[in-house]
Structure 1
Amino acid sequence: MKVGIIREGKTHSDTRVPLTPKQCRYLVDKYQDLQIFVQPSQERCFSDEEYQSQGISRREDMKECELLLGVKEVPIPMLLPKKTYLFFSHTIKKQPYNRELLRSILQQKIRLIDYECLHDERGKRVIAFGRWAGIVGAHNAILTWGRREGKFNLKPMHECHDWAEAQTYYQNLPLSNIKLVVTGEGRVASGASEVLDLMKIKRISPQAFLEQNFDEPVYTQLAVKDMYRLEGEQNFDESHYYQHPEQYVSNFDPYTHNANIMLNGIYWDKRIPAFFSQEDMKRKDFTIRVIADVTCDIAPDSSIPSTIRSSSIANPIYGYDPLSSKETEPFQSHCIDVMAVDNLPNELPRDASEDFGDQLITQVWSQLNQADSQMIYEGTIAVDGELNKPYEYLKDYVSLDNGM
């Protein structure tokens, strides 16, 4: 099999790779019939020369490759018909900005396997950048707080050589008695907790967070049972919640009166109620002043109404004026500071890429060669010009009659 690592075309500043040079060498050595080629790129965190030093050839034309690996969405002009692609397509939530991409994939009879849709037998995702999104998101949340308060300037993660350097700045940060709430229990939240623990911010229970006062920085991590409730019910049935989230209401309000910083790390879709409304944010007792929205769904279809746009690694923070519900300059006393970078792992691209490639090799690679792989079947959105059965709900999304 011939495999091509394509250059990133959607966002040139995204320098991540699906496989590092050493990982490519490992695969070529392990599978005798495998050839891997890399499309030349000046932006990657691993240079063309690093790939060549591992015996991986550069090739501009990828037409001979059966399998093409990327990270972000592939621009329509760069697609090759009738190939198999692996990348994050961001289409399964019917994102309007990628509707034409999925249409083109169907028209060109491309087989699209989406990393986000690859799960094990228990339904758990097997490959993701989530941990690194959480790590950088927590770093940026504290960076934003330091700038807002004018007490310290934490070095941006993308200016650090690697994760090891970033950790050297976490000792003795003057954080006073801030209270931070983390939403979710997945990779993002775990990565965020990793950073907060290294900063020696004390982890406490949700109950203690709401009921007690502290003279040191603290954080709590919320599961879905802490954030949502079914009206009239005392007990929380998690399996019912995941099947019928539209029947639930937000139970997040008490945290809006106790937290200074919110780090949002949950998976969200339109059926799930938002944490709070624009009107809630106007209240004088709304104490959250920094929101690090790692999930980064854009309002109005979002869990957080102040995420009115995504921000960039170079300019990660913008202000949100709750009274006007509009963007403003950050770090003003009346505004809420929003960090909503949508490609956070790219601040540590080499670390994140190595981790991602390890997951790809250990969890996915052998499945790609199995004709009856349930994982690959369920992760395949499109094949031979048709939506795969698990994704037939996207028919209205890609219909030419759809006025979206």
Structure 2
Amino acid sequence: MTELHLWLRHEDRSTERRTPIVPLDARRLVESGVRLTVEDSPQRIFPIEEYEAVGCGVEPAGSWMSRAPRDAVVVGLKELPDRPASLTHRHIFFGHAYKEQPGAVDLLRRFAAGGGALLDLEYLVDDQGRRLAAFGYWAGYLGAALAVLQHRGRLAAPLTPTSKEELDEILRPAAGDEEFTALVIGALGRSGRGARVALDTAGIGATAWDLAETRALDRPALLAHDVLVNCVLATSPIPPFVREEDLDDPDRRLRTLSDVTCDVGSPLNVLPVYDRTTEWTDPVRRLRKEPPLDLIAIDNLPSLLPRESSTDFSASLLPQLLDFETGGPWGRCLDRFHQACRELGIEEGEFRRD
């Protein structure tokens, strides 16, 4: 069996503090015979010295483009830089390229041009289609926490990474806080569970909706809540939860909308009332002035708790990396990549099939 060479890249996005492989699990990989190269990164929550100490090779940030052997598997989380135009490696990251998102066609054509492949972490699933590694819990936790802080007038910008202990300290109810109602949609999934725990910490007993409640959506009941936290990632078309006309409903009580999913630009978006995400520097956008409605839609929420979220994610990903092969979950990822390319009219011969 050929030695597996994983190349952990620096994240190009300046606000990305997370990593898919933490030093503790890097040690496990190295001890199992995996060659692991880690790029230096000034923003990663774990310093490069911790990786070096467990036997990882070290390379400069961004060096995968010129120094990684072609058979190396490049591992990351968020989007790749715009260059190179041709991607020759297999890449593991969240590509957001299979649901007609902006930039999806260009990304997949870069893989086709170079002979590489995308092994999208969103599609790393078991035989029942359940995701094997996800940040959902912490995304939901933070999405709900920020919504509470905004609604209580305690959300300060710019956002900065913190710890769960520090976040919970300001999340707990204080004297003078007014009561309000909150609704979590997708309440039974990972993100929904995290959102409900954050709301419990904040002293808010949330209304929990999942499939049963959204099959026949009670829109007036939805709009009657003060805060909405959306944790639904639709995989097939469903009626939107909030429409443009709902924003102008005179009976709307909804004041704070936190979209954990951030499926903006996709035809499957269940909240098609905004066209761009919000950022750490400006986390809240006002969608309506009267009555007011504020939007929080940050697409890397778990990076605000980088140590906790990275540790959990890495622990879930580790068994899949230790059993990395062309079949099983990784084979399904590769099949999904080929399918997406065919749907875009990219000829099979344009990329490797191994």
TM-score, normalised to structure 2's length?
Answer: 0.87
Structure 2 distance, partners of 1:114, 1:94, is 15
Runs of 4+ in 1 over 6 A off after TM superposition: none
Map of 1:336 onto structure 2: 293
Matched, 1:367 2:327: no
Query: Contact between 2:143 and 2:195, CA under 8 Å: does it hold in 1?
Result: yes
Q: Match for 1:295: what amino acid?
A: T
Indicate how the Cα distance of structure 1 residues 81 and 159 shifts in structure 2: closer, same or farther if over 3 A, else same.
closer
Structure 1 distance, partners of 2:93, 2:248, is 40
Query: Contact between 1:297 and 1:307, CA under 8 Å: does it hold in 2?
Result: no
Q: Match for 2:228: what amino acid?
A: M
Residue pairs, 1:77-92, within 5 angstroms = 77-78=83-84, 81-92=87-98
1:313-339 CA distance string (max 9 Å, x none)? 221101012xxxxxxxxxx55321111
Structure 2 distance, partners of 1:160, 1:112, is 29
1:85-111 CA distance string (max 9 Å, x none)? 101110110213222111111111102
Three-state SS of the structure 2 residue aligned to 1:131 is helix
Q: 1:356 aligns with which of 306, 313, 319?
A: 313
- Consecutive unaligned residues of structure 1, counting only runs of 5 or more, are 148-152, 203-218, 230-250, 322-331, 400-404
Residue pairs, 1:66-145, within 5 angstroms = 66-78=72-84, 81-145=87-151
Indicate how the Cα distance of structure 1 residues 133 and 266 shifts in structure 2: closer, same or farther if over 3 A, else same.
same
How many residue pairs match? The answer is 335
Q: 1:276 aligns with which of 224, 242, 247?
A: 242
Matched, 1:22 2:24: yes
1:345-396 CA distance string (max 9 Å, x none)? 111112111111101013x123313x4x2211111257xxxx524x366325
Aligned residues: CA RMSD: 2.4
Map of 1:292 onto structure 2: 258
- Consecutive unaligned residues of structure 2, counting only runs of 5 or more, are 348-354
Matched, 1:198 2:201: yes
Q: 1:377 aligns with which of 299, 306, 331?
A: 331
Three-state SS of the structure 1 residue aligned to 2:308 is helix
Three-state SS of the structure 2 residue aligned to 1:95 is coil
Q: Match for 2:328: what amino acid?
A: Q
Structure 2 distance, partners of 1:86, 1:180, is 36
Map of 2:49 onto structure 1: 49
Structure 1 distance, partners of 2:328, 2:266, is 35
Three-state SS of the structure 2 residue aligned to 1:37 is strand
Map of 1:177 onto structure 2: 179
**Larger CA Rg, structure 1 vs 2:** 1
Map of 2:350 onto structure 1: none
Q: 1:188 aligns with which of 178, 188, 191?
A: 191
1:261-282 CA distance string (max 9 Å, x none)? 1111101257221113212221
Q: 1:146 aligns with which of 130, 142, 152?
A: 152
Q: Alpha-carbon deviation of 1:168?
A: 2.5
Indicate how the Cα distance of structure 1 residues 49 and 78 shifts in structure 2: closer, same or farther if over 3 A, else same.
farther
Q: Match for 1:255: what amino acid?
A: A
Query: Contact between 1:158 and 1:348, CA under 8 Å: does it hold in 2?
Result: no
Three-state SS of the structure 2 residue aligned to 1:138 is helix
Matched, 1:2 2:2: no
Map of 1:312 onto structure 2: 279
Three-state SS of the structure 1 residue aligned to 2:323 is helix
Structure 1 distance, partners of 2:89, 2:236, is 32
TM-score, normalised to structure 1's length?
Answer: 0.76
Matched, 1:263 2:229: yes
Structure 1 distance, partners of 2:256, 2:87, is 45
Instruction: Using the aligned pairs only, state the percent identity.
Output: 26
Structure 2 distance, partners of 1:161, 1:347, is 6
Three-state SS of the structure 1 residue aligned to 2:344 is helix
Q: Match for 2:43: what amino acid?
A: E
Q: Match for 1:225: what amino acid?
A: A
Query: Contact between 1:116 and 1:128, CA under 8 Å: does it hold in 2?
Result: yes
Which stretch of structure 1 is more off in the superposition, 270-279 or 284-293? 270-279
Indicate how the Cα distance of structure 1 residues 79 and 19 shifts in structure 2: closer, same or farther if over 3 A, else same.
farther
Q: Match for 2:241: what amino acid?
A: F
Query: Contact between 2:23 and 2:50, CA under 8 Å: does it hold in 1?
Result: yes
Map of 1:241 onto structure 2: none
Structure 2 distance, partners of 1:347, 1:360, is 20
Q: Alpha-carbon deviation of 1:290?
A: 0.6
Three-state SS of the structure 2 residue aligned to 1:368 is coil
Map of 1:240 onto structure 2: none
Query: Contact between 1:252 and 1:275, CA under 8 Å: does it hold in 2?
Result: no
